[in-house]
Amino acid sequence: MDNVIRQALEHGKPSVGTWLNLGSPLVAETLAVAGFSWLCIDAEHTAYDLGEIAHCLRAIEARGALPLVRAWDHEPTTIGRLLDAGARGIVFPHVSTPEQAEAIASAMRYPPRGSRSVGTGRCSLLDPNYRQLANDDVLCIPQIEDLEGIGNAEAIAAIDGVDIGFLGPGDLAMSMGVETGSEPHEAALQAFRQGCERAGTPSGIPTADGPTTTRRIQEGFLFIDLTNDMRLLQEGARVALSQIDA
């Protein structure tokens, strides 16, 4: 069960993927072929059902990328079903406290390390030794989206079983009552990165384009969500239309 995200981060190298909002296994497969090393199915903000999630997981795997899912809540049953479907990591929105982080990290691991229930899911098809390998393979990625979470960044990142700290800049800006990219907003992003760094945990952030991705990597963010399938489609269409000379 090679995990390209773990392999990159353990060597201090960036790992760049993108978000899936369109609910299409074909789009997932297309972006995996394009070269993204991982793809995250956004089950928080889109109308995926669990069957569609499983189809997207298969499409991503078939083309050699690593499939992640952003969950819609922190419930252990949700976590177990997504992992049993074959997710290799889960992004958890709106994590603000170390207690929340500890609970989700535990729900992702089998006993004695955690409390994940053992069942017969498609995850067992990923590797004959899945149950022996899963605890060290799955990625627990809490997403911090408010100032409470920023203040607790180091404590959250230091929880055993938290693998990556990830930012939600849009909701963070709204919770702060400021514009994205403003000075206080940027200060909060960097405070988060520094907190993760002190805890010895990689940090991640969404980016809109290549130059921004390069800048964030230079700052020290290593887990990068480069835009999403909807934005890539919109931008591709815009560029194609703008190039028509008629």
Secondary structure (3-state) at 182: coil
Q: Residue with structure tokens 């194609």? A: 240
Tell me if residue 45 is catalytic: yes
CA distances from 169 to 69, 125, 205, 227 (A): 18, 36, 8, 13
Taking alpha carbons only, the member of 75, 84, 79 closest to residue 119 is: 84
- Is the omega angle on the peptide bond into residue 169 within 30 degrees of 0, that is, cis? no
Nearest-angstrom CA–CA distance, 64 and 36:
9
Catalytic position from the list 45, 55, 74, 185: 45
Whether the Cβ atoms of residue 39 and residue 59 lie closer than 8 Å to each other: no
Taking alpha carbons only, the member of 35, 38, 30 closest to residue 8 is: 38
CA distances from 17 to 31, 36, 138 (A): 9, 5, 16
Range list of H helices, 144-228 = 147-151, 153-157, 169-176, 183-199, 210-219
Separation of first and last alpha carbons in the chain = 52
Whether the Cβ atoms of residue 204 and residue 9 lie closer than 8 Å to each other: no
Question: Could you tell me the two tokens for 159?
Answer: 């929880």
Question: Known catalytic residues?
Answer: 45
